[in-house]
Structure 1
């Protein structure tokens, strides 16, 4: 399993060297956009809207827009230094809480934790302590230049780090529009709804749920491949030298702008008179 972060977790005087591994993966099917006429993949270029020029990687800087059209430019070196100062710190578990006290709306992304060199005993100690206390740890960690709040809990004998949103990142439910305040329902309607819930209540078995849309899309793609209903991108034609055409055009332009030359008229000499005999 790919290691995406190395560091250490500490609680009290116990320090645990650990590695993080992504616990989930995105299985969305990525679709390309093609030119309808020749089926070539579309290129997206970065163009300055003011200069109209294509902008290369070396010509781009990052900035914070503090007001409309007003920016504070941040140098890559400044951001890298700030990241290192925070990322090099050990991640400290600051609190322990009960899992049921955390609303699922705060959950973000999950990472498996494995012990790094010399961290096996401390890893086992934290795992056992969390299991026995039925608590989860609250910690802070820098991942991909962003400080994350996280919980550390045990899942099937493995420590799991679950990043969670900060409180100011969760929008208040009071801001949701058109929420009914009263309960204009009859007892019969409520009893029927509760009965339906009871009939559909079961044990949670995650393996029985599947992404039916993704399966259908893969089947559609496979059937088109099997039926040879595929297209190929046209190869880019090599640039044809237009030097000859250019020279011809230039010469024609020169000829067109040349002043018309006047034809020389040859004056005839007057006939000489013959001498009289």
Structure 2
């Protein structure tokens, strides 16, 4: 497994040499852009719109646009010095908290942590302490020239570091448009929705879920490559256009029931309509 960061992490006076390894991988299928006429890959050149010339990497400097059209130029030497001043420090666990206190919206990327030379015992100590206390550590680390807030926790007998967003990087939920201020639903609708949730509740098994789009795209690419006929998949049955909320919930419940149980409930009979009085009865009353 490739090492993408090497350093040390400490809590109190305990110092652990560690290596970070990416815990996840991007399996998106990357498609190239070709010229339609000759199928040549498209080149993306860096050009200066004023000088109208192609620019080489050594002719490019980094800058921050503090207002429209006005920049502060940052030299590579300044950025490298700033980076080294922070990276040379050992990563220190600042606080310990319960992971339930951190909303999932904050989590970003995951990295496995392995012990460096001579760090096996201290690694085991931190792992056992986190397991026993049921806490996670909060630390700061510089990864790819960006200071990250990170959580250190145990995952399948391995320490894992998960970078998390700073509070000012999470947009305010209050800014989301058109969110209803109040729940305008009936008790019956709520009970039916909970019934549907109960029917769909199961234990989480990640192997159950697959990327159907990526699989279909790979099959399409392979069919194109080998010159085979492309079979059009059978379309899913279109969803019923149900506008009534209760009808939609009931239809969902019926759809998720085990085979042979749908429609077995005893439906309440509508109240019997009163018989209309006959003409003779009306005549007697009038008399």
TM superposition score normalised by structure 1: 0.81
Match of 1:162 in 2: 162
Instruction: For residue 12 of structure 1, report the CA deviation from its aligned partner.
Output: 0.3
Determine the C-alpha separation between the residues in 2 that align with 1:129 and 1:187.
Answer: 46
Give the whole-Å Cα distance in 1 for the aligned partners of 2:74 and 2:193: 56
Cα deviation code 1:191-223 (max 9, x no counterpart): 211111100000000011100000000000011
Q: CA deviation at 1:188?
A: 2.0
Deviation at 1:51, TM superposition (A): 1.8
Aligned to 2:254: none
Structure 1: how far apart are the matches of 2:194 and 2:8?
Answer: 48
Q: Which residue of 2 aligns with 1:48?
A: 48
Deviation at 1:190, TM superposition (A): 1.5
Match of 1:201 in 2: 201
DSSP-derived class of the 1:78 partner? helix
Structure 2 unpaired stretches of 5+: 230-287
User: How many residues are paired up?
Assistant: 229
**1:159-201 C-alpha deviation (Å, 9 max, x unpaired):** 0000000111111101111111122212222221111110000
Map of 1:38 onto structure 2: 38
Verify: 1:111 aligned to 2:137, yes or no: no
Aligned to 2:177: 177
Tell me which residue corresponds to 1:12.
12
Please list every run of at least 4 consecutive aligned residues from structure 1 whose deviation after the TM superposition is greater than 2 angstroms. none
Aligned to 2:93: 93
Q: Distance in 2 between matches of 1:24 and 1:44?
A: 29
Give distance in 1, aligned partners of 2:151 and 2:165.
11
CA displacement at 1:49 relative to structure 2:
1.5
Partner residue, 2:240: none
In 2, Cα distance between equivalents of 1:67 and 1:228: 56
Q: Considering only CA atoms, is the larger Rg found in Structure 1 or Structure 2?
A: 1
Give distance in 2, aligned partners of 1:43 and 1:121. Answer: 52
Cα shift at 1:228: 7.1
Write the distance in 1 (CA, Å) between the matches of 2:36 and 2:184: 53
In 1, Cα distance between the equivalents of 2:107 and 2:19? 20
Distance 2:205 2:228 in 1: 39
Ranked by relative contact order (alpha carbons within 8 Å, sequence separation 6 or more), the top structure is: 1
Q: Distance in 1 between matches of 2:87 and 2:179?
A: 43
Distance 2:216 2:192 in 1: 34
Other structure's SS at 1:43 match = coil
RMSD: 1.0
C-alpha distance in structure 2 between counterparts of 1:51 and 1:42, whole Å: 23
Q: Equivalents in 1 of 2:159, 2:206: separation in Å? A: 20
Scaled by the length of structure 2, what TM-score is found?
Answer: 0.79
